[in-house]
Structure formats: C-alpha cells, structure tokens
Structure 1
C-alpha cells in the first residue's frame, strides 16, 4: 500500500490536500490511515472529523511506560496497538491518528515522546497494510532513516510566491539527507500560467506532480465548517487527478 508524506510552508493548503486525498482513496475502497504530524493539528477538520482525538504526546503515562522515563528511554517501544486504541474513524471510514507536539530544548529533543513517535511511524509506514497519508509540518523532524525507506513519495505543496518555493527547496534538501529520493510538488491556489513556478521548482530538483486551481469552494467549505471534499469543486477534481498520477507511477 502506498505511503505518502505531505509537507510545505504553513498556509499553503497541505492539510486540506492531505485530508482530501485520504477521503478520495477511502472512497475508492482503500483502507486509509491519516496521521496528523503537524503541530497545528487541523487534519481532523479537513477530514470532516468533528471531535479531535487525543494527541498521543499528551498520553504521558503511556509514553513513560512504553518508552521510559527518568532520562532513560527505549529506542523500540511497543506501538503495534496504538492505531487501534487511539485512532478515530471518520467519514468514509478514514482512520485518524494525531501525534501532537514535542517540546524541544535548544539542542533538539531526545526523549521518550520522540522515541515513541518515531517507533510508531516506523510501524505504520513499514508494517501496516493501510494507505498512509502523513500530514507533516514544514520539515522532516518526525522522520528518520529507519522510516523513510517505506515512504513512496513526499509531496511538497507550494503556492505562488517566492517564500513558498524556497521552503519547498529546503524541505527537499532536508529530506534527501535522510534518504528520501522521490518528490513531487503540488502547485496549489494556481491562477494562470505556472511555468515560472515549475521552472523554479525544477531548479531544486522537484518535479511537479499536479496543479490545483484557486477555488472559492474551499473557502466556502471552511466557512460552512465542512470537509472540502463534501463541498466539491474544481480543486477537488484536480486532487483526484493527482492521485491518479501517483497511482500510475506506483504500479
């Protein structure tokens, strides 16, 4: 089953795309696990899940029990029951798991919570038979070399604008350092010709997988507090086309 990590600068629409792709795949009969690894934790609303599940990093006792405490932590804590116990099932039977945030010190975090989340991601990416959609922050902090070999593609969402494109380049560079080799950019909120954007992305070694037009239906979906896929529109159809491209390349 395909495993997709989705990243990008804040505000570019990656969570909307993550939730919509998860619902599209579920409607095609796939068993889908959507993982919210972004500190903003908005994937539930993009999926249409009304009640946010408890973030895993708030399960302090469980993490201490599984991953250790007091300065000593286990690198391979037990995690094979976490999806079943703490995932929630939303519309179209998409299962959602929310990782939560880790408080990092100035030199980064090597702690039980970090060990626990990395072990969980290794498990769901390498050992589950579900399609996995991973909604990430603009970086690769949640990933590690033991996980990345199971990721089929990293999709980097960009919008028209220099900062968004530069962020995409930095994400790709970081991801290459942990051996992610397959990338695709999604140009979101596109208006008119995108050849200039495509050229700049190519300069970072990132090919364009698809283009999503600017669509006021997505704004209206947010105003109506419903999942974008339930509103429909040109942007949703473009996301269906993107999935078809990914599927063909994965065959």
Structure 2
C-alpha cells in the first residue's frame, strides 16, 4: 500500500503520517517493510516517528547523486538528458550545488540512476521497525545545478512506489503535490488530505484534490483534525461533500499531543493514555485505508 499524506502547514499531517507508519510497522508480516518518507521541506517526520538519529537528507548527498546520475561525466544512452532535444535535456546556470560535483558537471545526466540501495544505506531505523527516509529539498533559483538532484529524487520516488512491492510506503508531503510528476503519482494508492476546522483549510484540500487528480492520483479522502465541537464537523463535511471529497475520519484536538510535540515525543511514545484518543482515531484510519486497496 502506498499512501500520501498532504495538507497545509500546521494541520497536523506529519503527526498523522508518522503515527500511521508506525501502526503499519507494528503489524507488518515477515518480509514486509514500512518506509516513512519525509517529502516535506520542514523535515519534521522524525519527531512524529520517534526516530532519535538525524538521517542525511537524500538531496544533500551531492557526490552520490552526481556519481549515480553521471552528471560529472559524459552520460550517454537513452536514459540520459541533454539540451540537444534528442531524447535528452539539460539545466543551465553558473551556480554550484556542490563544489566538487558541479565543477565537473557537463550539463548531461542520467534520468534513471541506480537507487535500489538507498533505503538500506540511508534510511534510519525507528521504533516498531519503521524506516525513515528524508528526501530533503532542492534549492531553486540562481543555484544552477538542480537537475541531477531532481532526477535522483524522482527516480527514488518511482522506486519506492513501483518497485518496493513488499513495502508499505507513507509519504509525508506538503500541500503542493504536483512535484510528484504524472508518472510517479500513479503509484499512489490513496491520498489523505488533512484538514482542520476552517474554510481556508478546506479550500486547500480542494486544491490538493485537483492537483492530485491532474497528475493521476484517483483516490483522495479527507481527515478532519483538531476538532473541538461537532458543529464544525457538520459544516466541514458539508463543504467537503460539495467538493466531492469523502471524510474518512475526524480526530479531536488534544492538549496532551501539543505537550508531547513540545517535548519532541512521538504520540505513540507519550505518557500512557495521554494521547490514546488521537492514536485510536488514527488506528481507525489505518483500518479504513484497506477499503481503498
């Protein structure tokens, strides 16, 4: 199962994504793996998972990226890109993403670099056997050499969504999902769009749905988080219905969750019973997700 969790900043999507990933990991069968992918520029998923170490963001592994994409050599063949227009493309600019790598960059790079070993080499092992992979960000504007990084990250996402058949993958994403790419997005089984009470948040979910559908994600459902009264649920659900977005679950606002977050504690590791209601609702989300498989 491949699940993407998206929503505007502050709605609690990272908490939901991290808890969901660990719950899947707890019930993983022998031979199955659960990979939690931090694809949000904020890179806070480690806290929701309870991962203590700081895994290197993949986008910052410049030497590896330039080696695998052959950006520092004359990459040839149908899997490469250049500015010539003959099955290839290039990026221009005088900036440098990495002094050692960009110094030798020819402007030609592979679109299908080897990424099959990245999870094992650079994933951080977390509680319940979950693996965290931090994608990182590609600096835009004025830096020039961004194409090899983008090619590498996209290749890695394709591998996670299409090749890791025995893996459950939970992607923690920002509100803008179009960077997944049309081909890659088709590997997502379900998108959870997290919303909080408020029309601006609901309208963001509508935009997420439209973006998701534009790139090939067919199943989008909403999760209403931080609920304080039932009246809000009715209003939000009615608006979501107008947009054609099913409401999968509601999660109450929980002060204990705020306290745990301030302490850097994952919801599943919080003081016994403190976050039980929230965790219980996320368990329900997990069970309902299988209806979309």
* TM-score > 0.5 by shorter chain: yes
Determine whether 1:157 maps to 2:204: no
Q: 1:197 to 1:109 in 2, by over 3 A?
A: farther
Deviations 1:104-146 (A, max 9, x none): 238x996111110011000011010210000001111441122
Counterpart of 1:16?
15
1:125 counterpart SS class = helix
How much does 1:229 deviate? 1.4
Cα distance in structure 2, aligned partners of 1:132 and 1:51: 20
Q: 1:109 to 1:166 in 2, by over 3 A?
A: farther
Determine whether 1:113 maps to 2:185: no
Counterpart of 2:276?
233
Cα distance in structure 2, aligned partners of 1:189 and 1:71: 48
1:176 counterpart SS class = helix
Determine whether 1:94 maps to 2:130: yes
Cα distance in structure 1, aligned partners of 2:292 and 2:60: 38
Q: 1:166 to 1:239 in 2, by over 3 A?
A: same
Cα distance in structure 1, aligned partners of 2:54 and 2:178: 23
Cα distance in structure 1, aligned partners of 2:107 and 2:42: 28
The alignment yields a C-alpha RMSD, in angstroms, of 1.6
TM-score normalised to structure 1 length: 0.94
Moved more, 214-223 or 181-190: 214-223
Pairs aligned (count): 248
Cα distance in structure 1, aligned partners of 2:239 and 2:181: 28
2:193 counterpart SS class = strand
**1:160·1:197 contact (CA, 8 Å) conserved in 2?**
yes
Q: Any unmatched runs of 5+ in structure 2?
A: 72-104
Counterpart of 1:27?
26
Deviations 1:36-84 (A, max 9, x none): 0000000001100112200011111111111224322211111111111
**1:103·1:109 contact (CA, 8 Å) conserved in 2?**
no
Counterpart of 1:205?
244
Which segments of structure 1 move beyond 3 Å, counting only runs of 4 or more?
Answer: none
Q: 1:6 to 1:173 in 2, by over 3 A?
A: same
Deviations 1:143-202 (A, max 9, x none): 112212221100000001122111111111111111111001000001222011011112
1:59-78 equivalences under 5 Å are 59-67=61-69, 68=71, 69-78=105-114
Q: Any unmatched runs of 5+ in structure 1?
A: none
Counterpart of 2:59?
57
Counterpart of 1:192?
229
Q: 1:171 to 1:70 in 2, by over 3 A?
A: farther
How much does 1:209 deviate? 1.0
Structure showing greater Rg = 2
Cα distance in structure 2, aligned partners of 1:184 and 1:70: 44
2:109 counterpart SS class = coil
Cα distance in structure 1, aligned partners of 2:54 and 2:64: 19
